[in-house]
């Protein structure tokens, strides 16, 4: 039955594992990368990052007459507003310089740059005189370095410069046909400018002294985005939709130039430094899906090569930027990051309301900052410790889940097959007793030969009928009632059932084991019955043997005293007559017990004083029979409600065992009794040979005896155990070899044992 129960458990576990695997794929599909970016806060406007201490500047590029909201706000690192200013000013850009701010605003004559503190307190300003107010759609960029006072301002297609340490407010025009500009990393105050002369475009690198140190020609395009990596300047020039984008790499050290064309949008290309050189990251659509490609300039040819396919559900790609060797691809509905080799780091769905033309992405502590004139967002990164396992499930899910499903189905099939084999073995096993198998509706599915014989059905009678249809005689009514009970309770059930097979009544112990299906439905119940008629008969014989054993002791005492009457003329016959009468009364009591012992297991309780009870037990053992035994009594008695006959039989057996342990040698047998608030204790101890650990462990086993001459049967210990448990007490035996043995009965003062006695009766155990 254990195998059947284990197989049922396996069925349930298999279904749960399948459900768990499916839930893992469903619930964790968005966390299958090392990092997850979550939006912390958003702003309506552009954000400039400040350091030492970290803070943000929120500025809104809108005409002053459109809103009374201050266009500039200083924010703490947690996003809370600390200060506002520049109300009713047309702010176009804010750039940090050391611990100060450069605020660019449009006025009636053109553009004004204000140098302010972080509290937006003005220090000085410079004016770029354009003769009129700047149109709202014209971009204004400021290039400045903390290590140089020279600043450059690009207003549309014109580039201006001024000295931040100059208090005169003067500025000067550098170029008037600028296509793009960027501040160089190496060398203070150097700026790279793409401008055209006629129909030819040039890259000019201008230092802080306004000297042009390099002027190689570059492709002419409506605009040029300049990125800087190591000593290389990357110029990205959009050509058209068919020819893609022209990439020009210029070495600022030797003016070396390399030009290549790629099929990628200009905003989706960037360069980054790697191992002393430059690598290019871009987003192409070679196969119709967006692929992230990273390659050295010399590896890029006319044909795009294979890259990492990015998710297609995030919408239109807005920009690709490389920040500290992390590639950031911003989509209209999500953000993807990758390492310098193109391996995905994070994929997260977020909707961004940003302006691609003014988009900038900053790397901040524990996250990213996406900034544009239309809107900005702060994203924090969270590490995913189990991303590799989730990614494996996602990537291998289309193969793994079917394989797991097949393995589970195969396992269930093998378990069911094993169940069937076990059932077949049970049905065919000669000593298996009666075996029935019924389904949840009570239909008989299978039975073995002994079960069919009991029901009086032949092999040609079909199965799968309700069990009641097979009841051909009234003797199996108890079996039918038991099956109905097992179907109603739907749990393991053991019960004794009396069956009349025509010749005689026989007693069986029926055991039911439900078998559950994969989804928890009752599939069938296997019922096994073992014939205990002969075992019960053997238990009854034990009762008779014990009573005969007790009577033998009494008769021996009477005989010995009677023999002494014939030969002793010294006047001691009166005492011998008293002993004969006492043993005769005990023997009469035995005969009465003999008549009633097989009828019931119920206790016949009556008030008994424990000290008087132990004294009577002591006097049953005549000194003439046991001259080597010295009895000692330690009595502290109280009243107890017990079955005197059964308890005396148990205690008498303990005394007899103590006398036997002396083995004819002079020794002491002590009978003691005491009590507490709940229990009465009776202790029988001796100074006999004692028992070793192995013997003591086997002492409680049925029919175990230490007798070597065949005089012992092990029945006495069984009676001691049974009577004690019948009273609701416990029996404890302690022994040391060469020291002696102690047997302690713990009997409750008052305990109703009807239920316990009925249970023992149903098991066929007698006293």
What's the pLDDT score for residue 589? 56
CB 229 within 8 A of CB 272: yes
pLDDT at residue 758 is higher than 80? no
Count the helix, strand and coil residues of the chain and give each as a percent rounded to the nearest 5: 30, 35, 35
* Residue ranges of domains in the chain, CATH in brackets: 429-530 (3.30.450.20), 535-762 (3.30.565.10)
d(CA 331, CA 336): 8
What's the pLDDT score for residue 289? 84
What would the mean pLDDT of 622-648 be, rounded to a whole number?
89
Q: Which residue has the higher pLDDT, 572 or 487?
A: 487
Confidence category of residue 713, pLDDT binned at 50, 70, 90: very low
What's the pLDDT score for residue 462? 84
Pick from 256-270, 573-587, 652-666: least confident: 573-587
CB 466 within 8 A of CB 443: yes
Edge-first strand listing for the sheet containing 344-349: 317-323, 326-331, 334-338, 344-349
Beta strands in 326-419 (DSSP E): 326-331, 334-338, 344-349, 360-364, 367-371, 376-383
| Mean of all residue pLDDT scores within the chain | 80
Query: Contacts from 711-718 at CB under 8 Å and sequence distance 24+?
Result: 712/660, 713/545, 715/542, 715/545, 715/546, 715/549, 716/546, 716/549, 716/653, 716/654, 716/656, 716/657, 717/653, 717/657, 718/542
Tokens of 325: 């060797």
Pick from 110-124, 494-508, 696-710, 720-734: least confident: 696-710
Exposure on the CB side of residue 395, measured as CA atoms within 13 A: 8
CB 162 within 8 A of CB 126: yes
DSSP 457: -
Whether the predicted model's global pTM rises above the 0.85 cut = no
What would the mean pLDDT of 148-175 be, rounded to a whole number?
91
What's the pLDDT score for residue 3? 45
Tokens of 112: 């004004």
Contacts of 67 (CB under 8 A, 6+ apart): 60
pLDDT at residue 6 is higher than 80? no
Pick from 75-89, 401-415, 631-645: least confident: 401-415
Question: What percent of the chain shows pLDDT beyond 90?
Answer: 26
Tokens of 319: 């920009």
pLDDT at residue 342 is higher than 50? yes
Contacts of 146 (CB under 8 A, 6+ apart): 97, 98
What would the mean pLDDT of 408-428 be, rounded to a whole number?
68
Edge-first strand listing for the sheet containing 505-516: 465-466, 443-447, 434-439, 522-531, 505-516, 493-500
Tokens of 525: 């119940």
What's the pLDDT score for residue 321? 92
DSSP assignment of 638-654, as one string?
A: -EEEE-HHHHHHHHHHH
What's the pLDDT score for residue 23? 47
d(CA 716, CA 714): 6
Residue 457 pairs with which residues in a beta bridge? none
What's the pLDDT score for residue 667? 95
DSSP 135: P
**Highest mean pLDDT of the ranges 297-301, 324-328, 500-504, 592-596:** 324-328
Q: Is 452 left (phi over 0), alpha (psi -120 to 50) or beta?
A: alpha
């Amino acid at each position: 039955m254990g195998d059947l129960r284990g197989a049922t458990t396996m069925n349930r576990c298999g279904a749960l594992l399948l459900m768990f695997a499916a839930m893992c794929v469903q619930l964790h599909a968005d966390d299958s990368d090392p990092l997850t970016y979550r939006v912390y806060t958003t702003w309506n406007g552009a954000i400039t990052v400040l350091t030492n201490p970290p803070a943000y500047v929120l500025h809104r590029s809108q005409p002053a007459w459109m809103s009374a909201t201050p266009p500039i706000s200083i924010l703490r690192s947690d996003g809370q507003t600390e200060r506002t200013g520049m109300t009713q000013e047309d702010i176009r850009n804010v750039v940090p310089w050391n611990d100060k701010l450069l605020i660019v605003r449009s006025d009636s004559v053109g553009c004004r740059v204000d140098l302010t503190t972080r509290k937006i307190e003005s220090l000085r300003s410079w004016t770029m005189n354009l003769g009129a107010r700047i149109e709202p759609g014209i971009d204004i960029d400021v290039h400045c370095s903390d290590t140089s006072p020279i600043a450059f301002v690009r207003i549309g297609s014109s580039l201006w410069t001024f000295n931040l340490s100059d208090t005169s407010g003067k500025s000067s025009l550098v170029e008037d046909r600028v296509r793009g500009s960027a501040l160089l990393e190496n060398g203070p105050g150097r700026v790279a400018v793409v401008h055209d002369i006629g129909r030819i475009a040039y890259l000019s690198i201008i230092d802080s002294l306004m000297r042009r140190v390099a002027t190689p020609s570059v492709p002419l395009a409506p605009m040029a985005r300049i990125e800087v990596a190591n000593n290389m300047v990357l110029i990205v020039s959009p050509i058209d939709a068919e020819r893609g984008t022209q990439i020009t790499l210029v070495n600022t050290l030797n003016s070396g130039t390399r030009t290549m064309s790629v099929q990628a949008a200009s905003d989706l290309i960037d360069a980054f430094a790697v191992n002393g050189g430059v690598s290019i990251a871009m987003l192409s659509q070679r196969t119709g899906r967006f692929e992230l490609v990273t390659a050295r300039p010399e590896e890029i040819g006319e044909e795009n090569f294979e890259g990492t396919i990015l998710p297609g559900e995030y919408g239109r790609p807005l920009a690709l930027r490389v920040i500290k060797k992390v590639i950031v691809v911003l989509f209209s509905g999500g953000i993807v990051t990758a390492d310098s080799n193109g391996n995905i780091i994070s994929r997260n769905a977020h909707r961004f309301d940003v302006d691609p033309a003014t988009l900038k992405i900053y790397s901040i502590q524990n996250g990213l900052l996406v900034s544009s004139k239309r809107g900005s967002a702060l994203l924090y990164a969270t590490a995913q410790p189990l991303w590799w396992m989730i990614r494996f499930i996602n990537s291998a899910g289309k193969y793994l889940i079917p394989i797991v499903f097949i393995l589970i189905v195969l396992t269930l099939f093998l378990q069911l097959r094993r169940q069937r084999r076990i059932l077949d073995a049970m049905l065919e096993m000669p000593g298996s007793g009666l075996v029935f198998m019924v389904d949840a509706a009570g239909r008989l599915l299978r039975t073995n030969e002994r079960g069919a014989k009991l029901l009086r059905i032949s092999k040609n009678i079909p199965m799968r009928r309700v069990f009641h249809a097979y009841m051909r005689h009234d003797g199996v009514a108890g079996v039918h009632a038991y099956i109905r009970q097992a179907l109603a309770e739907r749990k393991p059930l053991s019960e004794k059932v009396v069956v009349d097979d025509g010749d005689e009544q026989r007693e069986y112990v029926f055991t039911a084991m439900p078998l559950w299906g994969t989804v928890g439905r009752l599939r069938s119940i296997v019922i096994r019955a073992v014939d205990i008629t002969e075992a019960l008969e053997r238990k009854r014989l034990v009762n008779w043997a014990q009573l005969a054993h007790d009577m033998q002791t009494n008769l021996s005492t009477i005989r010995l005293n009677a023999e002494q009457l014939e030969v002793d003329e010294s006047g001691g016959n009166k005492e011998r007559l008293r002993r004969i009468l006492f043993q005769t009364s005990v023997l009469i009591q035995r005969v009465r017990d003999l008549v009633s012992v097989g009828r019931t297991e119920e206790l016949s309780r009556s008030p008994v004083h424990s000290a008087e009870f132990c004294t009577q037990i002591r006097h049953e053992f005549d000194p003439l029979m046991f001259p080597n035994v010295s009895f000692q009594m330690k009595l502290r008695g109280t009243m107890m409600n017990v079955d005197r006959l059964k308890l005396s039989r148990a205690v008498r057996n303990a005394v007899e065992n103590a006398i036997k342990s002396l083995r004819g040698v002079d020794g002491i047998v002590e009978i003691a009794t005491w009590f507490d608030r709940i229990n009465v204790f009776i202790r029988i101890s001796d100074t006999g040979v004692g028992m070793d650990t192995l013997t003591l462990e086997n002492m409680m086993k049925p029919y175990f005896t230490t007798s070597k001459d065949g005089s012992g049967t092990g029945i006495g210990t069984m009676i001691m155990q049974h009577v004690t448990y019948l009273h609701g007490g416990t029996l404890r035996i302690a022994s040391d070899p060469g020291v002696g043995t102690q047997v302690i009965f713990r009997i409750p003062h008052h305990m109703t044992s009807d239920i316990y006695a009925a249970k023992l009766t149903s098991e066929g155990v007698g006293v």
